[in-house]
A and B are shown apart, each in its own frame.
Chain A
Amino acid sequence: MNFAPVIAVGELQPVFAWLYGLLQSIGLEGTLLTVVMYAGLGGTVFGVLCVLALFLVWWERKIAGHIQQRFGPMRNGWHGWYQTLADAVKLLQKEDVLVDTRDRPVFFWAPVIGFVAAFAAYVVMPFGKGLIVADLNIGILYIMAVTTFTVISLLMAGWGSNNKYALLGGMRSAAQVVSYEVPMVVSILTVILYTGSLSMVDIVESQSGLFFNWFIFRIPFGPIAFITYITAATAEANRTPFDIPEAEQELVAGFNVEYSGMKFAMFFLAEFINMFTVSAIAVTLFLGGWQGLSFLPSWLWFLGKTLMVVLLLMLFRWTYPRLRVDQLMEFAWKILVPITFANLIIAGWFKWAGWYW
Chain B
Amino acid sequence: MMGEIRTQEFIVNMGPHHPSTHGVCRLMLTMDGEKVMKVEPYIGYLHRALEKICENRTYHQCIPILDRFEYVTAMSCNYTFALAAEKLAQIEVPERAEYLRVIMLELNRIASHLIFFGTTAMDLGALTPFLYALREREYIMDLFEMTCGQRLTYNYIRIGGVAKDIPAEFVPQCREAIKIIGKKVPEYEGLLNENPIWKARTIGVGVLPPELAVAYAASGPILRASGVKYDLRRDDPYSIYDKFEFDIPTRPNGDVFDRYILRLEEIKQSIRIIGQALEGLPEGDIKAKVPLKFKPPAGEVYSRIENSRGELGVYILSDGTDKPVRVKTRGGSYNHLQLIPEIGTDCLIADLVAIFASFDVIMPEVDR
> Distance in Å from the Cβ of B300 to the closest Cβ of chain A?
43
B298 touches A (CB below 8 Å) = no
The answer to whether B10 and A321 touch across the interface, beta carbons within 8 angstroms, is no
Asked if A319 and B12 sit within 8 Å, CB to CB, the answer is: no
- Judge whether B131 and A325 touch: CB under 8 Å: no
Q: Does the CB pair B131–A68 fall under 8 Å?
A: yes
Q: Are A240 and B128 in contact (CB under 8 A)?
A: no
Pairwise interchain contact A168-B34, C-beta atoms closer than 8 A? yes
Say yes or no: is B200 at the interface (Cβ < 8 Å to chain A). Answer: yes
Q: Across the interface, do B131 and A249 meet the contact criterion of CB distance under 8 Å?
A: no
**Nearest CB in chain A to that of B12: its residue:** A164
Q: Is B201 an interface residue (CB 8 A)?
A: yes
Enumerate chain A residues within 8 angstroms of B350, measured Cβ to Cβ: 244, 247, 250, 322, 324-325
A321 touching B12, Cβ below 8 Å = no
A164 in contact with B348 given A318-B127, A322-B125 (CB within 8 Å): no
Quick check: B197 and A320 within 8 Å, CB to CB? yes
| A164 nearest in chain B by CB position | B12
How many Å lie between the Cα of A240 and that of B195 in the bound state?
A: 14
User: Taking the nearest CB of chain A, how far is it from the CB of B202, in angstroms?
Assistant: 9
Query: A326 in the interface, Cβ–Cβ < 8 Å?
Result: yes
Complex contact B131–A321 (CB within 8 A): no
State whether B125 touches A241 (Cβ < 8 A): yes
Contact with B along A159-183 (1 / 0, CB 8 A): 0000011001001100000000000
Q: A67-B128, A69-B131 are in contact. Are A321 and B353 (CB under 8 A)?
A: no
Query: Does B201 lie within 8 Å of A324, measured CB to CB?
Result: yes
Cα of A327 to Cα of B201 in the assembled complex, Å? 9
A250–B353 alpha-carbon span in the complex (Å): 7
Interface residues of B in 8-47 (CB under 8 A from A): 10, 12, 18-20, 33-34
> Interface digits, B328-368 against A, CB 8 Å rule (1 contact, 0 not)?
00000000000000000000111101000000000000000
Q: Given known contacts A164-B10, A325-B348, A325-B350, is B135 in contact with A240 (CB within 8 Å)?
A: no
Q: Are B351 and A69 in contact (CB under 8 A)?
A: no
Taking the closest CB of chain B, its distance from the CB of A204, in whole angstroms, is 34
Given A165-B12, A249-B20, A327-B200, the answer on whether A321 and B348 have CB atoms closer than 8 Å is no
The residue of chain B having its C-beta at the shortest distance from the C-beta of A327 within the complex is B200
- Check: A103 CB closer than 8 A to any chain B CB: no
Q: Which of A165, A240, A241, A249 has the most CB of B within 10 A?
A: A249
B110 adjacent to chain A (CB < 8 Å)? no
A271 proximal to B (CB < 8 A) = no
Q: Is B65 an interface residue, CB under 8 A from the partner?
A: no
Q: Interface size class for chain B?
A: 20 to 34
Q: B123 within 8 Å of A by Cβ?
A: yes
How long is the Cα–Cα vector from A330 to B122 in the complex, in angstroms? Answer: 23
**Bound Cα distance from A297 to B283, whole angstroms:** 74
Question: Is B241 an interface residue when CB atoms closer than 8 A count as contact?
Answer: no
Counting CB contacts under 8 A, is B230 at the interface? no
A68 to B131, CA, bound (A): 6
Contact A243 B348 (CB under 8 A): no
- Assess the B197–A321 pair: CB atoms within 8 A: yes
CB of B315 within 8 Å of the partner chain: no
Tell me, in angstroms, the Cα distance from A252 to B14 when the chains sit together.
Answer: 9
Nearest residue, chain B, Cβ from A67: B128
B62 contacts chain A at the CB level, 8 A cutoff: no
Total cross-chain contacts (CB, 8 A): 78
A237 CA to B40 CA, complexed, in Å: 35
Cβ–Cβ contact B121 & A321, under 8 A: yes
Instruction: Name which residue of chain A comes closest to B205, CB basis.
Output: A324
B351 touches A321 (CB 8 A): no
Which of B34, B124, B135 contacts A321, CB < 8 Å? B124
Known: A68-B131, A70-B131. A249 touches B348 (CB 8 A): no
Q: Which chain B residues in 127-142 approach chain A with CB under 8 Å?
A: 127-128, 131-132, 135
**A244 CA / B124 CA spacing, docked (Å):** 11
Looking at A241, A252, A322, which has the most chain B CB atoms within 10 Å of its CB? A322
Residue in B12, B131, B197 whose beta carbon sits within 8 Å of that of A322 in the complex: B197
In the complex, chain A residues whose CB is within 8 Å of the CB of B125: 240-241, 243, 247, 249, 320-322
Determine how close the nearest CB of chain B comes to the CB of A248; give it in whole angstroms.
6
Q: Which residues of B contact A248 (CB under 8 A)?
A: 19
A33 at the interface (CB under 8 A from B): no
- CB-CB under 8 A from B195, the residues of chain A are 320-321
A323 within 8 Å of B (CB atoms): yes
Contact (A320, B126) CB under 8 Å given A68-B131, A69-B131, A250-B20? yes
A164 contacts which chain B residues (CB < 8 A)? 10, 12
**Residue numbers in A under 8 Å from B353 (CB-CB):** 249-250
Closest-CB distance, B24 to chain A (whole angstroms): 15
CB-defined contacts of B18 to chain A, threshold 8 Å:
252
Cα A67 to Cα B129 with chains together (Å): 10
| Pair B128/A325 contact, Cβ less than 8 Å | no
CA A252 to CA B13, docked complex, whole Å: 12
Choose one: A64, A68, A243, A251; the contact of B132 (CB below 8 Å). Answer: A68
Q: Is B123 touching A323 in the complex (CB atoms < 8 A)? A: no
B-contacting residues, A313-357, CB 8 Å: 318-327
Given A319-B126, A325-B350, 18 further pairs, Cβ under 8 A: A68-B128, A69-B131, A164-B12, A248-B19, A249-B123, A249-B353, A250-B350, A251-B349, A252-B18, A319-B128, A321-B197, A321-B201, A322-B201, A323-B197, A324-B348, A324-B351, A325-B348, A326-B348
Binding site for A on B (CB under 8 A): 10, 12, 18-20, 33-34, 121-128, 131-132, 135, 192, 195, 197-198, 200-201, 348-351, 353
- 13 A-B interface contacts by CB (under 8 A): A69-B132, A164-B10, A168-B34, A172-B34, A249-B20, A250-B350, A252-B19, A321-B195, A321-B198, A322-B201, A323-B201, A324-B348, A325-B348
The 4 A-B pairs at the shortest CB distance, nearest first, are namely: A322-B125, A68-B131, A321-B126, A249-B20
